[in-house]
Amino acid sequence: MKVTIVNTLILKNPSQNDINQAADLLKEGKLVVFPTETVYGLGASALDETAAARIYAAKGRPSDNPLIIHLADAEDAGKYAEISPCYEKLASLFMPGPLTVVLPKKACIPFSVTGGLDTVAVRVPSHPIAHKLLLAAGIPIAAPSANRSGRPSCTTVDHVIEDMSGKVDAILDGGESDLGLESTILLPRGDNEVVLLRPGAITIEMLTENGFTVSLDKAVTEKPKDNEKPLAPGMKYRHYAPKASLILLDGTFTAVSDFMKLSPSDPSVAFLCYDEQKNDMMQKKAIFLGSYSDSRSQAHNLFDALRKLDQDASITTVYAPLPSKEHIGLALYNRLLKAAGYTVKSL
């Protein structure tokens, strides 16, 4: 489907009136980008096949990559999906918040939203603008990340304008995304058993502390083979990759910082670094993600850093540390591994 929007309405610090206007656009089958606590979402009515098709067209997204539906309230899920005790427990612990749960879908959700699957992914965002928009619209909103397919997700309105200006009807500007990485996606397997399809800010540690047994879909940490279908279809696509070749450095903090420090200054080489390395990297092209011990800041800054690398055409190689797999580190590890096309150099 060709996308033919000429003027994109940009609503900064949106008032309730602005939000109502955006909700009306959604009810008319139009596209609205809105902020969430994870990343910006590109929304359309999840009950309207044509509206959903417009999302795929605006993003250039493959039609077998399903959309997450966003709800104002965790209890609304029963209208659109078969809920279970596992869902109810997850919802009481982590919703609203950065968690998506895959459930058997009900007939009202079109297959075009679920990429042909008989399941639907459900999330209840906590961001106040997202929540008000969902309340005002009164319908479930299908919303993948608002980036063009293959690019890093949008964590600022500048990213959204770069990717979606002229392709969507309105953008609600809510400033920088708090978390900066997409939601955790879980597939329930039993009352207290889940498969982690995509890591995010709701971590394995948080789930196990609350009595869940968690297994990891191998697409989170390994490159899917050509004939393999990951449980979350989106995990098989190239994603986040900067134009330059990204190489992840697997080693201790000291080994990684020594490697970067001793690399010759070269305008074609850039580094993603920790704040602690600032004094060593003065003569080099370096982007600082945050303190070594502050994975939250690293997550917040990662996608902006990947986009900045693309603004300097002279950069052909980028080195970045391979994060630890603990807590939110696993989400960083997963996104960086995909961005690097699984290229890791052991130190």
Q: Which residues make up the interface to ligand AMP (CB under 6 A)?
A: 65-66, 68, 102, 114, 117, 119-121, 144-145, 182, 185, 197-198, 231-235
In the chain, count H helices and then E strands: 10, 16
Residue 149 binding: pick among Mg ion, ligand AMP, none (C-beta 5-8 Å cut-off by kind): none
Residue 36 binding: pick among ligand AMP, Mg ion, none (C-beta 5-8 Å cut-off by kind): none
Cα atoms in the Cβ-side hemisphere of radius 13 Å centred on 233: 17
Residue 279, token pair as written in the block: 């004094």
Minimal distance in Å, beta carbon 236 to ligand AMP? 8
Minimal distance in Å, beta carbon 186 to ligand AMP? 10
Question: How many Å separate Cα 222 from the centre of its chain?
Answer: 18
Choices 1-9, 20-28, 144-152, 196-204 (CB under 5 A): range interacting with Mg ion: 144-152
Minimal distance in Å, beta carbon 96 to Mg ion? 20
Minimal distance in Å, beta carbon 280 to ligand AMP? 35
Measure the CA–CA gap between 23 and 65, rounded to whole angstroms.
Answer: 25
Choices 47-55, 127-135, 143-151, 199-207 (CB under 5 A): range interacting with Mg ion: 143-151
- Residue nearer to ligand AMP on the CB measure, 93 or 231: 231
Per DSSP bridges, beta strands 32-34 and 9-12 are: unpaired
φ/ψ of 276, rounded to 5, equals -65, -15
Minimal distance in Å, beta carbon 193 to Mg ion? 26
How far from each other are the two terminal CA atoms of the chain, in whole angstroms?
48
CA–CA–CA angle 51, 77, 221 (5° rounding): 80
Contact indicator for 71, 123 with CB cutoff of 8 Å: yes
Measure the CA–CA gap between 162 and 72, rounded to whole angstroms.
Answer: 28
Using alpha carbons, select from 222, 185, 228, 177 the residue that is nearest to residue 207. 185
Residue 204 binding: pick among ligand AMP, Mg ion, none (C-beta 5-8 Å cut-off by kind): none
Largest CA distance in the chain: 60
Residue 83, token pair as written in the block: 């809920």
Question: Of 45, 145, 203, 298, which one interacts with Mg ion (CB under 5 A)?
Answer: 145
Residue 154 binding: pick among ligand AMP, Mg ion, none (C-beta 5-8 Å cut-off by kind): none
Measure the CA–CA gap between 254 and 126, rounded to whole angstroms.
Answer: 38
Residue 232 binding: pick among Mg ion, ligand AMP, none (C-beta 5-8 Å cut-off by kind): ligand AMP
Residue 121 binding: pick among ligand AMP, Mg ion, none (C-beta 5-8 Å cut-off by kind): ligand AMP
- Residue nearer to ligand AMP on the CB measure, 145 or 177: 145
Residue 102 binding: pick among Mg ion, ligand AMP, none (C-beta 5-8 Å cut-off by kind): ligand AMP
Which residues form the interface with Mg ion (CB under 5 A)?
Answer: 145
